[in-house]
Chains A and B, each alone.
Chain A
Amino acid sequence: MKRLMIGNEAIARGAYEAGATVATAYPGTPSTEIVSSFAEFPGVYAEWSPNEKVALEVGIGASIGGARTLVAMKHVGVNVAADPLYTFAYTGVNGGLVLISADDPGMHSSQNEQDNRGYARFAKLPVLEPADSQEAKDYTRLGFALSERFDTPVMLRVTTRLSHSQTLVETGEREEAGVKEYKKNAVKFVMLPGHARLRHVEVEKRMLALKEFADETELNRIEWGDRSLGVITSGVAYQYVKEAMPDISILKLGFTNPLPERLIRSFAGQVDRLVVVEELEPVIEEQVKAWGIKVEGKDIFTLLGEYSPEMIEERLAGRDTAVGFGLDKEIPGRPPLLCPGCPHRGVFYTLHRMRLTVTGDIGCYTLGALPPLDGMDSCICMGASIGTVMGMEKARGEDFARKSVAVIGDSTFVHSGITGLIDIVYNQGTSTVLILDNDTTAMTGHQDHPATGRTITAQTTSKLDLVALCKAVGIEHVRVVDPLKLDELRQALTEELERREPSVIICKRPCALIVKEPPQQKYYVDAELCKGCKICIRIGCTGMYWLDKEKLAVINPNNCITCGLCPQVCTFDAVKIVEG
């Protein structure tokens, strides 16, 4: 029987069916569920790696060692893994390796919307683009065979809408691919210049062979309809085109690098008007234009965000889809925000009150940048906070470091913050770094990491000691505070900022969503004592709301987990514990 699966689960299933025995990843929306699903299969090895570069390097080792290997990451994770990726494209594989790049058009949960098909062209990797969960499973499985046949890592590129949509999947049996023989082959795997020159020749030969394959494979197919309009499309955009214009002719591409030139020329020659429908960058369109074929694409469609069936209707079919009641005009926005009881709230409340310059990082705590906390000045990528605070100090002088901090989560610090900290010590910075240690990778759904002491399968393992690590790289002043004890936190900040030496404050308290014990007590606001100053509202907690008419703050008992923050900020002692 067919089963509903999100695209990510289907990818894991495809790898399992292909006989993959090793999978690695660092969690990142929209890719996270791929390797967490794979880890549930019997007889396989899966890991959360500290970051995507390590994930790919472990994957490369597993491939050289002869195992079919799955490596998964979000689009910006491929930036981190790009260094090994480009050279692995030269060496090729032993056991097949499929790299999943989960892109995020529309930036549902990302800092940019880069199109990683660009990487594939640059690194000369074959690319598979499934359009639903069935294809995600089938293409992943096929990807391993292609990887071994053409001796290359294969990129399977998906997008959020595919990763997080459930569609029906017919599963198959696992193929026991086993582990291939390992024989030392230095000319293939030791990329000295002399060897790499030889491998580059192989890469170019491979690209020619792959181009032939692209023209022959059933992954690229024409669905003939009305020939007055022909659309070239791939991925989930195919579904939008089929939904909006089921009767036109479509060239559906499942294998998109290198592109099938003969097939595209033939299709172009048989339709009156040719249009490429692809989200984000004009990757297909530019290649088709380079072949001198008349084609439309980004002159009709946008480079920004996700597409939709109604966008195809409006821009291609010329149908007006404007409908609606207009009620949404008066609806206030609902941005995401820190959960009630979140330990990060205490940190950003304090940083904002102290008027510090804050270089931020990637995680739930990036939400500390939003009003009313307004506690962040920059956020670029994983691990950037520490280098950024150092750079600001070097640009503006040591006195500036007395009023600035870097803020980084525990998982992010392990991912790529450690080297930044070494730089501060080595190059004599004096900045203070806050590690927000909530004992999990919260934003992506609570994955473990080296400092939680648990593996992807919840096995107990060696626990990375963050205090000892910071001391080992040369930070003399490391202290641990509870971020929901505001006085303690403020005092630590004041003392460490004054110091003309580098320091680390570890703000340690588990994520409110992983704490299992229910709250022991309940709060209420004493209406007699509340002066309506709204200071408690400025902590931005959904456990609390404001009655405008009564000029009164009120606790919402359904949301409040009595974390103890609002009684600390209230100057009139109006937040009381419910007796009994």
Chain B
Amino acid sequence: MPNQTRNILIVGVGGQGTLLTSRIIAQVVVQMGYDVKVSEIHGMAQRGGSVVSQVRYGEKIYSPIIKKGDADVLLAFEKLEAARWLDYLKPGGKVIINNDRVDPLPVMTGKAKYPQDIDQKIAALVPDTTTVDATAIAIECGNVKAANVVLVGMLSGAMEIPAEEVEKAIATMVPAKALEVNLKAFREGEKLFAAMAG
């Protein structure tokens, strides 16, 4: 067990399923015997706003929230949100971006522009950036809703968490009839991370 505290910041747009992803990862690290804290956003911000879940684990955790510049991994369900929260990343940290674009209100109404090539700008600043089309993979696996589990696969790859621990957690957290699709989605995500990192 590493002594060092590990910090995962999961960001997205309300309704994208960030909460399930952070809860799966938290369950996994509990199984592994770590102290864990998870901070979530409920209520008004969930209505299509910018949302963030924070997972911290290690030997002993105090703060439930991650300091700026202290996240080992930034997992973004949406490109713009990756950019918004990038300052929380540690130097040398990893960014995983789901290649999804959800226009915020100011962009929809023409008051602001969606920044061009935002994922490439992030990749230029952070060498360890991986972009993935989790939605497409989830559809291939049989259910578009499993996109967040594809991202769990990417994340557990990035955090070097054993796959069997994650599979055990998924089995306790998703309904039986959705288990097969979710496990497939998880394995695809993991495979993809290994291929990209390799």
Contact = CB atoms under 8 A, between A and B. Distances in A.
A330 B34 CA distance: 38
Interface string A145-182: 00000000000000001001111100000000000000
A336 B108 CA distance: 13
A542 B26 contact: no
A4 B53 CA distance: 15
A29 B109 contact: no
Given A4-B27, A166-B37, A334-B49, A324 B68 contact: yes
A109 B26 CA distance: 25
B42 interface: yes
Contacts of B27: 4
Contacts of A324: 68-69, 86-87
B2 interface: no
A372 interface: yes
A200 interface: no
B39 A161 contact: yes
A538 B105 CA distance: 10
Contacts of A3: 30
Given A334-B105, A542-B103, A537 B110 contact: yes
Interface residues of A, number: 62
A526 interface: no
Contact of A372 (B35, B36, B109, B144): B109
A515 interface: no
A88 interface: no
B62 A166 contact: no
B112 A332 contact: yes
B9 interface: no
B62 A243 contact: yes
Given A339-B47, A538-B109, A545-B103, A331 B63 contact: no
B116 to A, nearest CB: 10
Contacts of B61: 167
A333 interface: yes
Interface string A240-254: 101100100000000
A327 interface: yes
A553 to B, nearest CB: 10
A309 B108 contact: no
Interface string A423-450: 0000000000000000000011100000
Given A239-B63, A323-B68, A328 B86 contact: yes
B105 A168 contact: no
A29 B44 contact: yes
Contacts of B102: 542
Nearest to A513: B15
A367 interface: yes
Contacts of B197: none
A310 B87 contact: no
B98 to A, nearest CB: 13
Interface in A474-490: none
B37 A167 contact: yes
B162 interface: no
Nearest to B114: A332
Interface stretch (B77-85, B148-156, B176-184, B186-194): B77-85
B108 A545 contact: yes
Interface string A317-335: 0000101111110111111
A309 B105 contact: no
Interface-centre pick from A132, A165, A240, A445 (highest chain B CB count, 10 A): A165
Contact of B62 (A242, A308, A332, A336): A242
A6 B81 CA distance: 25
A334 to B, nearest CB: 4
Contact of A534 (B107, B110, B113): B110
A30 interface: yes
A183 interface: no
Contacts of B144: 558
Nearest to B106: A332
Contacts of B47: 336-339, 364, 367, 443
19 contacts: A29-B42, A108-B41, A164-B42, A165-B37, A165-B38, A166-B40, A239-B63, A239-B64, A309-B67, A327-B86, A327-B87, A328-B83, A332-B107, A332-B112, A332-B114, A333-B104, A370-B105, A542-B103, A545-B107
4 closest A-B pairs by CB: A109-B43, A29-B43, A336-B49, A324-B87
Interface of A: 2-4, 6, 29-30, 32-33, 108-109, 132, 161, 164-168, 236, 239-240, 242-243, 246, 308-310, 313, 321, 323-328, 330-339, 364, 367, 370-372, 443-445, 534, 537-538, 540, 542, 544-546, 548, 558
